[in-house]
Amino acid sequence: MELKTTPLTKIHEELEAKIVPFAGFSMPIRYGNIAEEHHGVRNAAGLFDLCHMGRVTISGEEDCKYLQYLVTNNIEKMQVGQAHYALILNNEGYVLDDIIVYKRPENYMVVCNGANVDKVLEWMKKHQVSFKVDIKDDSEKIGMIAIQGATSLAVVSQLLDVDISSMKYYSCLECQIIGHSGMVARTGYTGEDGFELYLASENAPELWHKSLEIGKEQGLIPVGLAARDTLRLEAGMPLYGHEIDETTNPLEAGLRFGVKLKKGDFVGRDALLKIKEAGLKRKLVCLETEGKRIARQGSKILCGEEEVGYITSGTLSPTLGKSIAMGYVPADKALEGNIFNIKIGKNNFEFKIVKSPFYKRKK
């Protein structure tokens, strides 16, 4: 199958980025050294192409009522300009995707993972029949660029026609972006302050170039998927296909904050209530070791000689200089300080459960 491109693919090629298949797209995994890109975000700012992700507009007379039933968070309580993290579940309470819902003046926008766009749209349309609502896939129409990092506010402020210094985390605002209609959101996936910029896809290349031009003084650099992954892992943020998928529920994944069981009926609620009542069998934990051997996804977690769980993500943390990982272990063993053996190659290495996240930025 031929890979899709984003409005920025030619720019990535001109920058001689290493391009790889990701979520059905040709995407830049790195532009140079991964660790340097990672540190660039922690210490200054990084520019990310997120056009591969899904952007779905939900509108109509019952748009709020529809989303209230479709997703886990409480959409009815949202005010214009707010963003909520939520999950879309199947009837068994397992995760179809994790999303962000933005409430705009005229409608809602749902941002989902790129690999799940078709699945999410199919699920949305399946539940559309009972509601007066319109569902529109704007993934190709709307471009999405992120600017994340310590100096991101200084960069983004110069791209907009509004003052965003007082914007709250998980909020959004309609505005002019380099003279084009768009939306800015103070959200992100790196553990740093940051923003995501939405505007017409044809204007995305102009925004990319303008951002690098303006952000030069603040140390803004292009950042690929590899550093995005190490950044989100340090911040203890789940990634679909790793920490969550259609075999996991949000309670065991530590995502209760995005699930409002008391709000009323929603898809998967009954199953989640039964899971909660029965008690969790396993929990997602953060693990680290002083060594530098990386526990990759799928590595076995052992308690003595017994296999008790598996690793979902692992890397050598550029910020901490040690090996970190996330994985599932039995709920009764998911205690901070507990030590497990993780099988890496032919040998076992000790990893200790630590508090999430591994890294937390200074306010």
Q: What is the pLDDT of residues 117-133, one digit of tens each?
A: 999 999 999 999 989 99
Is residue 325 predicted with pLDDT exceeding 90?
yes
> Left if phi > 0, otherwise alpha if psi is -120 to 50, otherwise beta: which for 128?
alpha
β 282-289/347-354 pair status: antiparallel
- The proportion of the chain whose per-residue pLDDT surpasses 90, expressed as a percent, equals 97
Give the residue among 84, 4, 18 at the shortest CA–CA distance from 224: 18
Predicted confidence at residue 194, as pLDDT, reads 98
For the chain, the average pLDDT equals 97
State the Cα–Cα distance between residues 83 and 17, nearest whole angstrom.
32
Is residue 1 predicted with pLDDT exceeding 80?
no
> Helices 225-234 and 34-43: crossing angle, nearest 10°?
50
CA angle 44, 146, 244 (to 5 degrees): 110
pLDDT band at 363 (very low <50, low <70, confident <90, very high): low
The average pLDDT across 191-199 equals: 98
What is the b/e burial string over 79-105, where b = at least 16 CB atoms within 10 angstroms of the residue's CB?
Answer: eebebbbbbbbeeebbbbbbbbbbbbe
CATH topology of domain 9-53+140-234: Gyrase A; domain 2 (3.30.1360)
State the Cα–Cα distance between residues 152 and 47, nearest whole angstrom.
9
Say what the pTM is. Answer: 0.97
Q: Label residue 165 exposed, middle or buried (CB < 10 Å: 0-12, 13-18, 19+).
A: exposed
Predicted confidence at residue 362, as pLDDT, reads 79
pLDDT band at 248 (very low <50, low <70, confident <90, very high): very high
- Check: CB of residue 266 under 8 Å from CB of residue 87: no
Domain boundaries, the chain: 9-53+140-234, 54-137, 281-363
For residue 177, CA distances in Å to 137, 183, 184, 198 come to: 22, 8, 8, 8
- Check: CB of residue 287 under 8 Å from CB of residue 324: yes
| One-character DSSP codes across 96-152 | EEEEEEEE-SS-EEEEE-GGGHHHHHHHHHHTTTTS--EEEE-TTTEEEEEEESTTH
What is the b/e burial string over 326-358, where b = at least 16 CB atoms within 10 angstroms of the residue's CB?
Answer: bbbbeeebbeeeeebbbbbeeeebebebeeebb
**DSSP code of 28?**
E
Q: What CATH number is given for 281-363 in this structure?
A: 2.40.30.110
Predicted confidence at residue 330, as pLDDT, reads 98
pLDDT in tens, 76-92: 999 999 999 999 999 99
- The proportion of the chain whose per-residue pLDDT surpasses 70, expressed as a percent, equals 100
Neighbours of 268 (CB within 10 A): 24
Give the residue among 83, 108, 98, 45 at the shortest CA–CA distance from 187: 83
Q: How far apart are the first and last CA of the chain?
A: 45
Cβ-based neighbours of 102, under 8 Å, separated by 6 or more: 82, 83, 108, 109, 110, 111, 172, 183, 185
Predicted confidence at residue 271, as pLDDT, reads 98
pLDDT in tens, 198-223: 999 999 999 999 999 999 999 999 99
CATH topology of domain 54-137: Alpha-Beta Plaits (3.30.70)
| Distant-in-sequence contacts of 348-355, Cβ < 8 A, 24+ apart | 348/302, 349/289, 349/291, 349/293, 349/295, 350/289, 351/287, 351/288, 351/289, 351/295, 351/301, 351/323, 351/325, 352/287, 352/288, 352/289, 353/285, 353/286, 353/287, 353/329, 354/286, 354/287, 354/288, 355/286
pLDDT in tens, 5-32: 999 999 999 999 999 999 999 999 999 9
The average pLDDT across 325-334 equals: 98
pLDDT band at 291 (very low <50, low <70, confident <90, very high): confident
**Lowest mean pLDDT segment, chosen from 54-58, 196-200, 249-253, 343-347:** 343-347
β 282-289/180-185 pair status: unpaired
**DSSP code of 269?**
H
Beta-bridge partner residues of 137: 56
